[in-house]
Amino acid sequence: MSSSSPLSLDGLDLNQVFFKSISNADPPSQTNHHTKISVIGVGNVGMAIAQTILTQDLVDELALVDVNSDKLRGEMLDLQHAAAFLPRTKIVASVDYTVTAGSDLCIVTAGARQNPRESRLNLLQRNLAMYKSIVPELVKYSPECILLIVSNPVDILTYVAWKLSGFPVNRVIGSGTNLDSSRFRFLIADHLDVNAQDVQAYIVGEHGDSSVALWSSISVGGIPVLSFLERQQIAFEKDTLEKIHKQVVQGAYEVINLKGYTSWAIGYSVANLAFSIIRDQRRIHPVSILVKGFYGIDGGDVFLSLPAQLGRNGVLGVTNVHLTDEEIQQLRNSAETILEVQNQLGI
């Protein structure tokens, strides 16, 4: 399935009829890089990511892959029909992974849904089986790509993708707490009545219940918030801080309860990561990376979110953020939580 079949009548290429070649022109440049992103899984999250990427004029080609051929073709056509309102992008779709060949970035949103009364471990085992059919195919057709994992539980599945791919650690990234941190910034901005873009704040660790709010490093307009309040002798309740963190953790559940699923925020979040990678922006994002050796985490290979610099080569480095002793211990606890489940997968 493709959006770029040439228009022809009885073998006549109409492009040659409408456009006359310029004499003595140079041949097309071979140095221009053809930028391509593949999105695996065209559910609510995958399509929100695809749609947002298209509006950013980020790629020359967008490939969609899913096991449901009818839905896949429907989603492709729906996007193609918006061509007059979007930057020019070739949109292709297939149940076959050959369509992903030559991708710069492969975004995996596919994942098994949890059944009623199903254990987390059983769900993980089903996702592991699914990833065993996805990741090797992506590696086969795009051996130089960067893998961006979005499926939940994202930290463990990023580890799974890393092990299955054989890629260096800088080229396997989980969306992690990038969205959690956005929710965190929004809530702080809402409390202070400022623009969220002027708030610097991170959620790190697990994308889940054991995530860690880095209160010690929050700043607004360059002003460290907690130390400023202390210097001004302005009292603040720790319960208030914990309440904000709880709202961050429960934010996705609230959206799911209200509309049935989350899509737009994660769509913008992942497209934001894709932009930083493809355009080599070298911006700092809290994403899921291999954290062994950081902050005393040495119990095994585990992926958790830390503020990392992203660019064309994936993870370029990890920000040396100062953490309090309490925050470090919470991060280590988060690592232990992930490892306990991860060790049961047998991978």
Selected catalytic residue, list 207, 245, 285, 322: 207
Side by side, the strands of the sheet bearing 61-65 are 90-94, 61-65, 36-40, 105-108, 146-149, 172-174, 283-290, 303-311, 314-318
Q: Which of 180, 158, 1 is nearest to 80 (CA)?
A: 1
Query: Is 315 annotated as ligand-binding?
Result: no
Query: Is 270 annotated as ligand-binding?
Result: no
Residue 277 near residue 312 (C-beta atoms within 8 A) = yes
Query: Is 255 annotated as ligand-binding?
Result: no
Query: Is 317 annotated as ligand-binding?
Result: no
Give residue 66's Cα distance to chain centre: 18
| Pairing mode, strands 219-220 and 199-200 | antiparallel
Q: Which of 99, 118, 88 is nearest to 42 (CA)?
A: 99
What would the DSSP string read from start to end of 219-268? EETTEEHHHHHHHTT----HHHHHHHHHHHHHHHHHHHHHHSS--HHHHH
Query: Is 46 annotated as ligand-binding?
Result: yes
Count the Cβ atoms, other than its own, within 10 Å of residue 187. 19
How far apart are the C-alpha atoms of 149 and 106, rounded to whole Å? 8
Q: Which residues contact 333 (CB under 8 A, 6 or more apart)?
A: 210
Residue 302 near residue 292 (C-beta atoms within 8 A) = yes
Query: Is 44 annotated as ligand-binding?
Result: yes
Query: Is 152 annotated as ligand-binding?
Result: yes
Query: Is 41 annotated as ligand-binding?
Result: yes
CA trace torsion 157, 159, 162, 168 (10° rounding) = 140
Query: Is 92 annotated as ligand-binding?
Result: no
Query: Is 150 annotated as ligand-binding?
Result: yes
- Secondary structure of residue 192 in the 3-state scheme: helix
Is 207 a catalytic site residue? yes
Query: Is 42 annotated as ligand-binding?
Result: yes
Question: Can you say which residues are annotated as belonging to the binding site?
Answer: 41-46, 66, 127, 150-152
* Residues acting as catalytic residues: 207
Question: Can you say which residues are annotated as belonging to the binding site for NAD(+)?
Answer: 41-46, 66, 127, 150-152
